[in-house]
Structure 1
Amino acid sequence: MDLGFECILQVKIPVTDLRRSVNWYRRVFGLRLAWEFGEHGVVTGAVLTDDAERFLVGLRRLDTVAGEPSLSGFDVVSLGVPSVDVLRALAERFDELDVDHGPLLDRGPGGGVQLDVPDPDGTVIRILSPFGEHEPFTGVEFGPDGAPSFYTTPRLELD
């Protein structure tokens, strides 16, 4: 069913140090500060965007978020790039900026290639190349060594 959605426009990430995180996202991803939000005279959130305003990254001070979630090590969002060559160029950029990142990881049949970069709080920003041809459903299980194995019948029992 088409509900009319075109894309995910914004992702909002809780951060421990708003200024540090705004500076990091600006430096690493070339984003610009588009909005700030405040409460009681204190800036508690910010929204950054690319120059074409194709996507927004919202950052919110962790001490103002209900439940104080921890996303360290979790890939809360995946950004798409047009090719593996772009991923390679990004990895080189991150190296030049001395920004920690994971290796280029082939996700297997039809899964594209990924590059993970953790932000200052450890929240992972995953960057993906286009997916190749793939089955209508593919399951992936990661073994103890991190190697993926694939299956074609869903294991999740759905209603």
Structure 2
Amino acid sequence: MAFIDPPGATAGAGARDLQRIVQVTIPVSDLARSAAWYRDLLDLRYVREFSDHTGVTGCGLVDWQARYLLALRLRSTTAGGADLRGEHPVILEAADRAAAERVQTRATGLGIPSTAGTHVDGSWIEFLDPDGIALRIVHSAAGPRGFLGVCFSAEGGAELYDAPRLRLPAPRSAHPAGDRARPVTAPSPASC
């Protein structure tokens, strides 16, 4: 996804200590089936395996050129049986529309259906993995420069809002003197 400087930030104003997400981990019900699905769709290389006395419980697939690793964990071995069905925990950015369409063409050749659309963050193509977890690929991602909230209605529609509803403590500093965590007092309505 295209990253956008927060309001008031200037390009190049000091280096960030952290540069990118290196790995995303997804809980799956069938490790071999899901590893093959992600490997084939994203043209990844199978490079890691994690096991215990019961057998292989996780694995990793990598794109060395794009520099990211996708880890899979056998859901039955995770605390609480983690389940991300119906979510899209992984969003990758394609270089451009043509690149996204090449992935979609590869998916079609593998018999993997897709959906596509456009929303405020850009255009996207989405694929459901064998567990019903969505993998989204965005292109022409611009996104809004400020805060954006999205409220999904029971009828399936979405309404946008521009002020946070979640109450967060004020940012803390590494310097305790004078650091007072104050809650953000934005309203938190139960519905759109």
Give the TM-score normalised by the residue count of structure 1: 0.84
Which residue of structure 2 lines up, in the alignment, with residue 99 of structure 1?
A: 112
The unaligned stretches of length 5 or more in structure 1 are: none
Deviates more, 1:145-154 or 1:24-33: 145-154
Give the alignment partner of residue 127 of structure 2, picking from 109, 117, 126.
117
Q: Could you say which residue in structure 2 is the equivalent of 1:56?
A: 69
Please point out which of 4, 7, 12 is paired with 2:25. Answer: 12
Partner AA of 2:41 in structure 1: V
Give distance in 2, aligned partners of 1:146 and 1:84. 27
> If the length of structure 2 is used for normalisation, what is the TM-score?
0.71
How far apart, CA to CA, are the structure 2 residues paired with 1:82 and 1:53? 11
Residue number in structure 2 paired with 1:129: 139
Count of matched residue pairs: 156
Distance in 2, Cα, partners of 1:153 & 1:62? 36
1:137 deviation in Å? 1.9
**Structure 2 counterpart of 1:98, one-letter code:** G
Q: How big is the shift at 1:12?
A: 0.8
Q: Is the Cα contact below 8 Å between 2:57 and 2:74 reproduced in 1?
A: yes
Cα 1:145–1:157, aligned 2, differ >3 Å: closer, same or farther? Answer: same
Once residues 52 and 105 of structure 1 are traced to their aligned partners in structure 2, the CA distance between those partners, rounded to angstroms, is 27
- What is the aligned partner in structure 2 of residue 71 from structure 1? 84
Q: Deviation per CA, 1:11-68, whole angstroms, max 9, x where unpaired?
A: 1111111111111111111111111111016111111101426100111111111110
**CA-atom RMSD in angstroms:** 2.3
1:87 corresponds to: 100
Structure 1 counterpart of 2:187: none
CA distance 1:133–1:31, change in 2 (3 Å): closer
Corresponding residue of 1:154: 164
State yes or no: 1:140 paired with 2:150. yes
